[in-house]
């Protein structure tokens, strides 16, 4: 659900709670997929981010997942400005139509997983300092 100009930070959290309780079937379907943890990342749903409430947010990698219902066709300019605002703050935004989630959930899953892998920094093994690898020191 989009941010409204008359909302302030104090109203976003209660509004997000209402949105979580009143989720669309597509939001419930995607949440079931994300919360299972199979993607290896923690997502929050209906999360305030700046002046907006985003559908799903993974703070660890800065990934926003938005679902667009039938009403989004009439607000493409607003969605573009919102996406630009989020991107300007270093967030990556993925958008899916509700129908995609309901009809092709595996495709949505793969797209989100691919984004997570792209955004997650490679794990770097830090080598132990020379001469300390597995050596036991005798007690003195």
What sign for the dihedral angle of Cα 113, 116, 121, 124? negative
List the domains of the chain with CATH numbers: 9-119 (3.40.960.10)
pTM for the model stands at 0.74
Q: Using CA atoms, how far apart are residues 115 and 119, in angstroms rounded to an integer?
A: 6
Q: How many other C-beta atoms can be found within 10 angstroms of the C-beta atom of residue 22?
A: 10
Torsion of CA 130, 132, 137, 140, to 10 degrees: 60
Q: Which residues does the chain have with pLDDT short of 70?
A: 1-9, 12-22, 37, 71-74, 122-140
Amino acid 52: pLDDT: 87
Please name the residues in contact with 95: beta carbons below 8 A apart, sequence gap of 6 or more: 65, 66, 67, 68, 79, 83
Q: Which residues of 99-137 are buried (b: 16+ CB within 10 A; e: fewer)?
A: ebbeeebeebbeebeebbeeeeeeeeeeeeeeeeeeeee
Amino acid 3: pLDDT: 43
């Amino acid at each position: 659900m989009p941010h409204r100009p008359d909302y302030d930070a104090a109203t976003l959290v209660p509004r997000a709670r209402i949105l979580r309780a009143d989720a669309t079937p597509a939001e419930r379907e995607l949440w079931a997929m994300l919360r299972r943890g199979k993607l290896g990342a923690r997502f929050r749903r209906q999360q305030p981010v700046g002046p907006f409430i985003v559908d799903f947010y993974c703070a660890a990698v800065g990934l926003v997942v938005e679902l667009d219902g039938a009403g989004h066709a009439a607000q493409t300019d607003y969605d573009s400005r919102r996406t630009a605002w989020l991107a300007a703050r270093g967030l990556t935004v993925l958008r899916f139509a509700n129908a995609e989630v309901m009809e092709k959930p595996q495709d949505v899953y793969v797209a989100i997983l691919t984004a997570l892998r792209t955004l997650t920094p490679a794990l770097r093994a830090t080598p132990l300092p020379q001469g300390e690898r597995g050596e036991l020191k005798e007690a003195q």
